[in-house]
A and B are shown apart, each in its own frame.
Chain A
Amino acid sequence: MIERTILVIDDDIDLVEIIRVTLEGEGFKVIDAQNGARGLRLASDEVPDLIILDVMMGEIDEGFQVAYELRNREETREIPILMLTAVVDQTGFDFDPEKDAEFLPVNEFIQKPVAPRELVDLVRKHLPTSV
């Protein structure tokens, strides 16, 4: 089986580490970036199999900007994106994943905190051609 690479873009290094331990335990390779710009560069260079993106980094909507940019670039367009959000009514701006998902270029919204099992299941579900 080929090793699948997951890119985690999140400015919380502890959370990145937790996700890394979770996913590496399941045999995935995890690379990470602490901000949007570095995340975009890494996504273009490494072309990971899936990207986990935090909705709120330095700027309130940095995650959204990164997601749009990923969808704009030829080489990253097809990569599935899981977007991590804080509890919805706490994001500080009004958006509703259920209603707004179709306007946002991500495959799934994951509400933090997410149980390790659940995260692994979601990653497997969205990996292309995974069984």
Chain B
Amino acid sequence: MDDQKPESVVNDPTLFVTAASLRGRSDWFIRLRWMSVIGVMTGVITADQIAGLPLPVKGIVITALITAILNVGYILHNRRPATSLNNEVRIVKVQMVMDLILLTMLVNLTGGIENPLYLVYIIHVIIASLIFKGKEIYQITGLAVILFTLETLGEHYRIIPHHHLMSASETIHEPLYMLMTLGAFWIVLIVAAYIGSTFMKHNRAIKDDLVQRQKELQDADKAKVDFFRFVTHEVKSPIITALSAVDLALDKNDGNEIVDNMLGRASRRLHQAIEIVKDLSDLTRGGMKSRGRKEKIDLAELTKKLLVSRKELIDSRNLILEADIPSSPVQVKGVPDKIEKILVNLIDNGIRYNHDGKRLYIVLMDVGSKVIFSVQDEGIGIKPKDQELIFEEFYRTPAARETSTLGTGLGLPIVKRFVEQMKATLKVESEPDVGSTFTVTFRKRL
């Protein structure tokens, strides 16, 4: 119901509306009021011309005009920016009081208790109970009760004129009928106010609670990410230092093959450790949706760039690269880093888990509102039972472990997470020792 700002609820539990949200309500009243003016005018013309009811048309039209003029006044007020909450509360109260007075005038002009129009008071009370809380609701309810009671008693004791709705009706001068109507009216109004306010109180409590919990969750998430940044940095530093030492030792080694061999292995594994830390960091940091600005990215250009940078690697494995990439730009919208990670991981997997001398087939296709990117290899493949597990952190199939010690077990989980964030889809088709095809379908959203 309320479009109040969450922080106002969190910071001040007594505050349940903001100046802006109240202004929104006030604008809504203005629209409702125009409809009521139109309704009254249409109604009075219909009643007078078609139904032939003996209504004081002039009085009713004047009431509608006053309503219209006041409404214009409210519009002019609302053109100025909402400054303070108190100010907005005051203007909404003024509107409600004036509406009740005008309604009472209309009720009087259209037959008083003869006319079920007085049910409209209930609407005012319900609206008040939705917007205000506690004493304001009962102030408005009290005013409605007093106005309608005075109107009815006034007509009953002939202090103010009674306008007949039905020509011969004299119910207003029947004390019992009048008292029953008033009694029912009071009860309905007070019960309506009570139900409305209780319901809204409950509603607000739930909302406050939700806002509070959401804030706690956000804080916890931020704490987790901060902690993770700290840990990855603390772990990465010693690895980098160790790697630098190993590389220096390799550099200084004069042809001792065993030393070269061993230090080379150490260096590769340390590089792998850095990759794992980087991937883990991507996974946690990338988990935050807010990170990174979306841009238009040309996948054709990006794919070509990535393939050029991997040419040496592809050649060293004697792979036959077949790339089916359009010569014109193929644009999608997304966070550049994340899109690149998706492509890099899939291409590198296609190289890493291929058999030497086999085909690596890369396709990029622009199909209307979607873009399809797929990497097909003729390598080790994935058993059906492993095809879901490969998207779990650190899982590597036995065949993958055998083929390469250098995978991090995080590449596909990263791909999966980023694909989900982009509302793209990822499909894997694979058969052991025949090969795998990974297909990402991006939505363009340009």
- Residues of A whose CB lies within 8 Å of any CB of B are 12, 14-15, 18, 21-22, 25, 56, 86-87, 89-92, 112-117
Contact = CB atoms under 8 A, between A and B. Distances in A.
A22 B251 CA distance: 9
Contacts of A18: 241, 244-245, 248
Interface string B217-257: 00000000000011011001100110111011001100000
Interface of B: 229-230, 232-233, 236-237, 240-241, 243-245, 247-248, 251-252, 274, 277-278, 281-282, 285, 337
B248 A21 contact: yes
A112 B278 contact: no
Contacts of B230: 92
Contacts of B247: 113, 115-116
A113 B251 CA distance: 14
B232 A90 contact: yes
B154 to A, nearest CB: 72
Given A89-B278, A115-B247, A115-B251, 7 more contacts: A15-B240, A18-B241, A22-B251, A86-B233, A89-B285, A90-B281, A92-B233
Main DSSP-derived SS at the B contact region: helix
13 contacts: A14-B241, A15-B241, A15-B244, A18-B248, A21-B252, A22-B248, A87-B274, A89-B337, A90-B233, A90-B236, A90-B277, A92-B230, A116-B251
Nearest to A13: B241
Contacts of B233: 56, 86, 90-92
A86 B245 contact: no
A92 B222 CA distance: 13
A21 B252 CA distance: 10
Contact of A112 (B244, B248, B282): B244
Nearest to A114: B244
B236 A86 contact: yes
A86 B240 contact: yes
A19 to B, nearest CB: 8
Contacts of B252: 21, 25
A33 to B, nearest CB: 17
B338 to A, nearest CB: 11
B285 to A, nearest CB: 8
A112 B251 CA distance: 17
Contacts of B282: 89
A25 B233 CA distance: 30
**A12, A25, A90, A112 — most chain B CB neighbours (10 Å):** A90
Nearest to B337: A89
**A12, A18, A22 — most chain B CB neighbours (10 Å):** A18
Contacts of A12: 237, 241
Contacts of A117: 251
A118 to B, nearest CB: 10
Contacts of A91: 233
Contact of A86 (B237, B285, B337): B237
Nearest to B286: A89
Contacts of B274: 87, 113
B256 to A, nearest CB: 17
A20 B278 CA distance: 27
Contacts of A89: 278, 281-282, 285, 337
B242 to A, nearest CB: 8
A12 B238 CA distance: 9
Contact of A87 (B245, B251, B278, B285): B278
A113 B281 contact: no
A116 to B, nearest CB: 5
Nearest to A120: B251
